[in-house]
Structure 1
Amino acid sequence: MRRSGDASPTALPGPRETAAVRQAAGLLLDYPDSALRGRLPLIVEALAGLAPHASRDAALEFASHAAATPDRELAEHYVAVFDQQNRRCLHLTWWTDGDTRRRGMALVRLKERYRAAGWSFDGTADTAELPDFLPAVLEFAAREPRDGTALLAEHRPGLELLRIALTDAGTPYARLLDAVCATLPGPTPADEAQARALALRGPGREDVGLEPYGPMPGPAAPGRGVVDLPFPTTVAGGPR
């Protein structure tokens, strides 16, 4: 589901490039705190060293923009952009299930899926996110290419709607969604039909608390927040 005129890659990036772009996009889609600011030169350098591809080029474009933007300006822009009310939400199950009990069950299944792949959850973090937070999903997809690609593909309609919403908002963050979607095969007719249906009806709404469904995951090894990327450097941190 792409707008007319959008570039559609003729081939997917290689495994090395795919993992690196997903990891970089996950880091860059998190709140731009001081830790991320310190890593930006490394992220830019790592992406620049990859083979050219639509996914790499889009991620590098945003990383370079972020590195050149003053800290406060970037942070304020992030807060303004990722607003659930304006359908620019970074939680994937929100797109399909909204704020409903059905979403709670989807989060439980997602936690089980992470655990089956050897990922653990830290229930003590004060800043714990839900497991459908896109930066967490992207870290998983970078580290677990088969399961992670399947998970992203299942949420392709929501990813495409978020990409379009960010593009319509005129934010450079749209380039990160361009990058992520370019690591996936083209959307299927079923993806496009589901995306159209979601766009028409919007996410469901039901006042429920999601706290019981747990914080976001971290990899069981080599340690939470340390991700081995497929190039000579390591980006430490990962999703908050």
Structure 2
Amino acid sequence: MTNQKSGNNTSQLIALIGRLLDYPELEIELYRDELIDIVTSSVLSKRNKQEIISFIDRCSEMPLLDWQSDYDGLFERGRSLSLLIYEHIHGESRDRGQAMVDLLAQYEKAGLEIAHNELPDHLPLFLEFSSTQGEQGIGWIEDIIPVLSLLAVRLEKRESGYASLMWGLLDLCGAKVNISELREQVKNEKEDHTPKELDKVWEEEAVTFGGDSVNGGCPTNQHRPTENQRKDQEVPVNWMSMNETASATQPKEV
């Protein structure tokens, strides 16, 4: 059992990291201060706070098209940095399909509906769900510590600021990971984002779930939890209403 950290804005922070890991669709310069406030007031270590804030600053200053290009170069090229959780655990075996069915059942039990073209194991969607589950949210993230650790080290190897988001999630869980061993493993991995390796991937059949795999199985903005479906009193991070979010999510007196 890991040492869980808790804080009034933990759900907000999980939602924020989930949004930052999703495909960039809006420049965040206008919301920089609100985003940084969420990070600053969190229970993260000083180092992880600084690294995530640096990542937010970089993304705030970057033209949206450049940010999208950076994202595509990382998460849409090769499988080593796939944000599909069970792809790292089960590969393309049938076990992955069953695992997604089970996860989808948990979403439905919590009142979360997802679009037919969404894969339930997509990390940003999984984090959005976790952010609505109150004290249980950290427990959901603890279940994927091995995947988060591997992604953190692989992103670190690519010198990507996205690594800070993975380290932040691991920090929230109080995860104890043998980083030296992982770094040695990743050091010897064959790169899968080269043109030659990418050609091999495109020749293989794409994984589908619940129909087709439109948009690569990435989440859309449809069918998010309504207020009466949520298990906490936090409001999801929303770039378009960050001012309202910041005030609405202040701790309520009991």
Aligned twin of 2:127: 138
1:179 alignment partner, one of 145, 168, 190? 168
Deviations 1:104-149 (A, max 9, x none): 11110000011222222233xxxx4311111111112222134332
Q: Alignment partner of 1:183: what SS?
A: helix
Q: CA RMSD in A?
A: 3.7
Q: Bigger shift: 210-219 or 178-187?
A: 210-219
Does the alignment pair 1:211 with 2:209? yes
Q: Deviations over 1:169-215 (max 9, x none)?
A: 011111111111111122378xx99xx7xx98xxxx99574232797
Question: 2:99 matched to which residue of 1?
Answer: 106
Is it true that 1:234 corresponds to 2:234 in the alignment? no
Match in the other structure for 2:143:
154
How far is the alpha carbon of 1:220 from its aligned partner? 3.7
Partner of residue 198, structure 2 = none
1:95 alignment partner in structure 2? 88
Which SS does the other structure have where 2:55 is aligned?
helix
Name the counterpart of 1:44.
36
Residue pair 1:92, 1:158 contacting (<8 A) in 2 also: yes
Tell me the CA shift for residue 33 of structure 1.
Answer: 1.0
Instruction: Label 1:213 to 1:17 Cα distance change in 2 as closer, same or farther (>3 A).
Output: farther
- Unpaired segments of 5 or more residues in structure 2? 190-200, 247-254
1:169 and 2:180 correspond: no
Where structure 1 has 5 or more consecutive residues not aligned to the other structure, the ranges are: 1-10, 236-240
Quick one: distance in 1 between partners of 2:211 and 2:152? Answer: 26
Q: 3-state SS of the aligned residue for 1:110? A: helix
Matched, 1:21 2:13: yes
Cα-to-partner distance string for 1:37-59 (whole Å, 9 max, x where unaligned): 66555323433454663444433
Deviation at 1:15, TM superposition (A): 2.4
Q: Is the 8 A contact 1:104 1:210 kept in 2?
A: no
* Contact 1:142 1:148 (8 Å CA) reproduced: yes
Mapped to 1, the partners of 2:17 and 2:81 lie a distance apart of 16
The answer (yes or no) to whether the contact 1:19–1:143 under 8 Å persists in 2 is yes
Kept in 2, the 8 Å contact 1:61–1:175? The answer is no
Is contact 1:107-1:131 (8 Å) kept? yes
Change (3 A) 1:187 1:23: same
The answer to whether the Cα contact below 8 Å between 1:40 and 1:63 also exists between their aligned partners in 2 is yes
Give 2:227's match in structure 1, choosing from 221, 224, 231: 221
**1:69 Cα deviation (Å)?**
1.5
Cα distance change of structure 1 residues 85 and 51 upon mapping to structure 2, 3 Å threshold: closer
Query: Once the 2 structures are TM-superposed, how far is the Cα of residue 162 of structure 1 from its aligned partner?
Result: 0.6
Whether the 8 Å contact between 2:18 and 2:123 is mirrored in structure 1 is yes
Q: Deviations over 1:56-110 (max 9, x none)?
A: 4433221122112222211110100114525011111111011222111111000
- 1:31 matched to 2:20? The reply is no
Q: Distance in 2 between matches of 1:160 and 1:27?
A: 19
CA contact (8 A) 2:112 2:229 kept: no
Distance 1:13 1:25 in 2: 16
- Structure number with larger C-alpha Rg: 2
TM (normalized to structure 2)?
0.68
Give the TM-score of the pair, scaled to structure 1. Answer: 0.72
Measure, in 1, the Cα distance between the counterparts of 2:103 and 2:43: 32
